[in-house]
Amino acid sequence: MKLRTRTVGTVAVISLSGELDGRSTLDGDQVLDLIPRQGRALLDFTDVSYLNSRSLRILLLVYRHAQASGSQVALVGLSERLRSVLLAVGFLSFFVVAADVATGVALLTNSPEASATA
C-alpha cells in the first residue's frame, strides 16, 4: 500500500494505491494524522484494488475522527467492487462520495457544511 498526499485548494488529497489488506503497512493513525482538524480531506481510491475488514475499520476511524474534529471527508475513485462493499456495510452514507478528485474537491469546497467548519 502506498500513500501520497497533496493539497488542492483548501482540500487535503490523500491518494491510496495497492491493496488495503492485512499485509499493508498503512495504519489508522497514518491516515488520521493527514486529516486536518475542521478542514476538508479527500481519500482517493482510484488505484486501490482491494479492501479487507481492517481497512473498513480504518474508514470507520476516519469517519469518527472527522465527526469529532469538525472535518469533512470525501471518498473518490471507488470501483464498483469497492462501492458495493462500502454500500453493504453502510459506510457510503458516512462520506461525501464522488467519481473523481475534481468533483470531490468541488463538492467539499461548495458544501455549506464544509464552509461552516472552515
Instruction: Tell me the C-alpha distance between 112 and 118, whole Å.
Output: 10
According to DSSP, residue 36 is labeled: P
Kindly give the residue spans of alpha helices, DSSP state H, lying in 4-118. 28-34, 53-69, 80-88, 101-110, 112-117
User: How far apart are the C-alpha atoms of 53 and 51, rounded to whole Å?
Assistant: 7
- Distance between CA 83 and CA 75 in Å, rounded? 10
Share of the chain above pLDDT 90, in %: 56
Amino acid at position 54, single letter: R
**Domains assigned to the chain:** 2-117 (3.30.750.24)
pLDDT at 84 over 50: yes
Return the pLDDT at 17. 86
In this predicted model, what pLDDT tens digit does every residue of 97-106 receive, in sequence order? 999 999 999 9
Which pLDDT does position 37 carry in this prediction?
A: 81
What is the model's pLDDT at position 22? 58
pLDDT at 18: 80
Give the model confidence (pLDDT) of 44-77 as tens digits.
999 998 888 888 888 898 899 999 999 999 999 9
| pLDDT at residue 23, as a whole number | 60
For residue 114, pLDDT beyond 80: no
Alpha-carbon span 109 to 98, nearest angstrom: 13
Higher per-residue confidence, 92 vs 52: 92
Rounded to an integer, the average pLDDT of 15-29 is: 68
Instruction: Tell me the pLDDT of the chain averaged across its residues.
Output: 84
